[in-house]
Structure 1
């Protein structure tokens, strides 16, 4: 991976399902345990239940940080202190229609809309959606 960030970690109840959601959002392949690695891990005192406690969503080119999902016993209770901003059109400013289309695509994957932000900060218009993934983690589409 280029850069210093190795993983962005999500505490969650269902690591595999949440990693698949984020892989679909970001256009990454869904990560699964390769059969040979799974067999190796299972012969080293780990169980299928252990494997279900972790999952990843990773850039297939290895250039962007990997998202790592780990099962924790407690649920989410407050607003995230850090969140991801998803660009509707990477590399260029999107139109409102393009942001709406990306919102609709991600809602179809299992996200929900928390609220729309349509404000002006001085000379800068601010239009985006605050969203929640299937476990309630907030993120934005801009």
Structure 2
């Protein structure tokens, strides 16, 4: 019997301001906004190795996300460098779980309060 598999088509974020939040994530990841994006769109797509879809909803975020993304640096950047860069883009630190031995992660919030974690890249562990 053949094994069944799925592809993740989008990771979707409910939000108040799709264009602004998609712009944050586009700058954070280096991925492009869909070329037909307009600032007043109710749905905005960021195209990358995983597509991120931002959809306008009327209700605000009230509790911790049930799903979140974990991110790492690329091209030799460290976890600390990425935390600092993301702060300049508008993220905030929610909780710092870094340990003296270099392990751990930093839980951050995007501009609409969605949690995500910044972890060490594999190349930082060697």
Q: TM-score range by the shorter chain?
A: 0.7 to 0.9
1:126, distance to aligned residue in structure 2 (A): 3.4
- Which of 42, 61, 77 does residue 76 from structure 1 map onto? 61
Take 2:23 and 2:9, find their aligned partners in 1: how far apart are those partners? Answer: 19
Moved runs in structure 1, 4+ residues, more than 6 A? none
Superposition RMSD in Å: 2.5
TM-score, length basis structure 1? 0.71
1:139 aligns with 2:108: no
1:127 aligns with 2:107: no
1:109 aligns with 2:89: yes
Structure showing greater radius of gyration is 1
- Structure ranking higher on relative contact order (CA contacts 8 Å, 6+ apart): 1
Q: How many residues align?
A: 114
Structure 1 gap segments, 5+ residues each: 39-47
Where is the helix percentage greater, Structure 1 or Structure 2?
A: 1
1:119, distance to aligned residue in structure 2 (A): 4.9
Take 1:102 and 1:125, find their aligned partners in 2: how far apart are those partners? Answer: 15
